[in-house]
């Protein structure tokens, strides 16, 4: 079983008087994680699966008296897929205010759905965490560096969802099932999505453009949609933990591009499934973009787990000078260029170095990426 770095963090927050909220896309391992925590409290915990209609009914518009009768003498209450319960925020507030000796952990597969109904009721009453697909560092901690590094290309192509890792013989079928069924389940039930085929086409266009600047106007024209709808759909896809945006870094130079952004996928396996391309890296023309997406998404996971306050950017000028990835931490800049092959020489733009004087600048390739990912 893969050791999830978030588990000890959640365990350190138990019984501190606050609800624990765990967000994450479907199939990233939220249920497994909270059941692992439950295993440490076998006689003192209660698991409530909100995919079950009777459980949803019990937790909907309830009272503290009813909740006390449901949980009995249990002190650790695990509410899975909590977003399926109407007014779940008010129910969780009752736990927090009226049943003081109980620790509740609630999971939600859709942040835009769950956050909208818990933020106000649970102000000051919650810890919030997000579980991403498995990180490369978690794989190293579980299986060791040699075995994990040996399968680097496999992870870039097929991604980091737990079931994909644990069932390699079924990886393509499982990836397609996750992509078609689970990822779209929450999104397409969202009330503002009236034409699901449009959002699927949008995702495929975004999958084809990783590593490139994305124009909402061009996307809108290609899809025969208005720009505001494209923007809304991208926002929903980001809140559903499918994609994330990287904004341009711009401060001084008039030639800097300041309005475009790049869009990446949290999981490169999902991206490859969308375009039905599982070719080996030496057979693809998008190898560089995949490597870039993989590294940036992995760094995002590390920063999230370690709770590092970091701003992430790319940099480019109208003269095509660029830096693949920039982190700003406590006002200091760290610049990175990505190339899969150590033979391909890439250097940080001299213009960028002269104007911004980053704390460090590095080129990351398949031979030195372990340092970038904080492994060793």
Least Cα distance to 327 among 351, 350, 295 occurs for 295
At 103-147, the pLDDT tens digits run 999 998 766 566 667 877 888 899 999 999 999 999 999 999 999
Q: Check whether 191 has a pLDDT greater than 60.
A: no
CB 246 within 8 A of CB 261: yes
Residue pLDDT, tens place only, 341-373: 877 778 899 999 999 999 999 999 999 999 999
Q: Pick from 342, 1, 25: which is nearest to 181 by CA?
A: 25
| CATH 3.40.50.300 placement within the chain | 6-130
What is the 8-class DSSP label of residue 182?
A: I
The single residue listed with the structure tokens 């760094």 is 299
Average of per-residue pLDDT across 13-34 = 94
- Say yes or no: domain 136-372 is CATH 3.40.50.720: no
DSSP letter at 41? S
- pLDDT at residue 123, as a whole number: 86
**Residue 49 pLDDT greater than 80, yes or no:** yes
Residue 35 CA: distances (Å) to CA of 40, 49, 80, 328: 9, 11, 10, 36
- For the chain, give every residue range classified as CATH 1.10.10.10: 136-372
Q: Right CATH number for 6-130 from 3.90.420.10, 2.60.120.330, 3.40.50.300, 3.60.40.10?
A: 3.40.50.300
Sheet holding 360-364, edge to edge: 213-214, 261-265, 243-248, 311-316, 322-329, 332-338, 360-364
* Burial (CB count <10 Å: 0-12, 13-18, 19+), residue 209: middle
Does residue 111 contact residue 23 with C-beta atoms inside 8 Å? yes
Rounded to a whole number of angstroms, the distance between the first and last alpha carbons of the chain is 22
pLDDT of residue 361: 95
Q: What is the pTM of this model?
A: 0.93
Q: Please, what is the average pLDDT of the chain?
A: 91
Instruction: Report CA-CA distances (Å) from 371 to 20, 160, 312, 366.
Output: 32, 19, 18, 11
Q: Which of 22-31, 171-180, 250-259, 301-310 has the lowest mean pLDDT?
A: 250-259
Q: What confidence tens digit (pLDDT) does each residue in 78-92 have?
A: 999 998 898 899 999
Question: 77: pLDDT confidence band, cut at 50, 70 and 90?
Answer: very high
φ, ψ of residue 338 to 5 degrees: the values are: -120, 130
195-221 tens-digit pLDDT: 677 888 899 999 999 989 999 999 999
Mean pLDDT of 54-74: 95
Contacts of 302 (CB under 8 A, 6+ apart): 135, 137, 308, 373, 374
């Amino acid at each position: 079983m893969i050791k999830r770095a978030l588990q000890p963090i959640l365990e350190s927050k138990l019984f501190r008087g606050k609800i624990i909220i765990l967000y994450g896309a479907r199939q990233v391992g939220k249920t497994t994680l909270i059941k692992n925590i439950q295993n440490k409290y076998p006689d003192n915990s209660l698991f409530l699966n909100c995919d079950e209609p009777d459980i949803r009914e019990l937790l909907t518009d309830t009272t503290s008296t009813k909740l006390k009768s449901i949980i009995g003498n249990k002190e650790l209450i695990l509410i899975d897929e909590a977003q399926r319960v109407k007014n779940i925020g008010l129910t969780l507030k009752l736990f927090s205010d009226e049943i003081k000796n109980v620790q509740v952990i609630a999971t939600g597969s859709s942040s835009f759905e769950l956050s909208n109904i818990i933020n106000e009721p649970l102000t000051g009453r919650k810890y919030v965490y997000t579980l991403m697909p498995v990180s490369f560092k978690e794989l190293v901690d579980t299986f060791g560096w040699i075995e994990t590094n040996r399968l680097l290309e496999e992870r870039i192509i097929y991604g980091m969802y737990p079931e994909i890792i644990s069932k390699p013989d079924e990886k393509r079928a499982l990836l397609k099932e996750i992509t078609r069924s689970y990822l779209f389940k929450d999104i397409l039930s969202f009330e503002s999505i009236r034409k699901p085929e449009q959002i699927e086409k949008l995702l495929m266009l975004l999958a084809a453009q990783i590593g490139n600047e994305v124009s909402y106007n061009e996307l809108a024209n290609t899809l025969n949609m208005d720009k505001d709808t494209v923007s809304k759909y991208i926002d929903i896809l980001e809140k559903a933990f499918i994609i994330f945006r990287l904004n341009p870094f711009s401060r001084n130079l008039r030639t800097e591009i300041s309005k475009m952004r790049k869009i990446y996928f949290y999981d490169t396996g999902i991206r490859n499934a969308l375009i039905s391309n599982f070719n080996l890296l030496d057979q693809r023309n998008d190898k560089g973009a995949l490597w870039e997406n993989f590294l940036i998404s992995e760094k995002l996971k590390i920063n999230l787990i370690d709770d590092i306050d970091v701003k992430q950017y790319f940099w480019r000028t109208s003269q095509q000078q660029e830096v693949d990835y920039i982190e700003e931490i406590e006002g200091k800049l760290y610049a990175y260029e990505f190339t899969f092959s150590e033979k391909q020489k890439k250097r940080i733009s001299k213009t960028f170095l002269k104007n911004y004087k980053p704390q460090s600048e590095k080129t990351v390739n398949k031979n030195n990426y372990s340092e970038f990912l904080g492994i060793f």
